[in-house]
Amino acid sequence: MRSRNDWQRRADALEIEVSKTRLEGVLLIDTRFFRDERGFFIENYHQQRFAEHGITADFVQDNHSGSNRGVLRGLHYQDMTAPMGKLVRCTAGAIQDVAVDLRVGSPTFGQWVSAELSQQNMRQIWVPPGFGHGFVTLSKYAEVQYKCSGFYTPSSEGTIAWNDPDLKIDWRIPEPQVSQRDRQGMSLAAYLKQPAFQYHAGGLR
């Protein structure tokens, strides 16, 4: 029978470390996990711990995709008629994950951050509403799972061109494989003519 101290040590071992990025609201989450000769165990989401770090989204949908090396998906968003934040992790292989600030008026509008997510580092990224999101597969094959704070709503969806010259994103893959829809993504300049998000102190509108 486990003692109280055993359970406390187990709880402490599963604490999360949350790091801010240069884009306000986009966070990197590193969760401590157990690994031994049998495999591993991780609590990839714990509502109370996440809330302590300001991630209070009510997740309503889980998505899971598999992609071969060089497949690029993005840059996607849903506007304020059906806003969607994403808590993203890579459960097989490795990806480069990218978030782009689409909040007009933000001091970092049009800027991006990236992080490598893999089955080894078990890192996650929180991309709230107001940002474009995409990723490219770095390994031979990768699986990505993400929790969504809103339901998928095609009428609210938008796509920014992954290779927009104003963004200058370094995807680390010279010629990625992109869907027809993503090849037709709009430029940042076109987005500015009818933006989906407006930034103001304290939130979006």
Q: Which residues are catalytic?
A: 76, 146
> Among residues 162, 123, 180, which one has the least CA distance to residue 146?
123
Go through 125-143 and write b for each residue having 16 or more CB atoms within 10 A of its CB, e for each that does not: bbbbbbbbbbbbbbeeebb
Residue 120 corresponds to which tokens in the numbers above? 């080894």
Please give the helix or strand (H or E) that residue 73 lies within, else none: strand 71-78
CA 159 – CA 167 distance, rounded (Å): 14
Residue 40 corresponds to which tokens in the numbers above? 């591993």
CA 191 – CA 134 distance, rounded (Å): 17
> Among residues 149, 137, 128, 140, which one has the least CA distance to residue 60?
149
For residue 82, give every residue at least 6 positions away whose Cβ sits within 8 Å of its Cβ, in sequence order, or none: 150, 151, 153, 155, 156
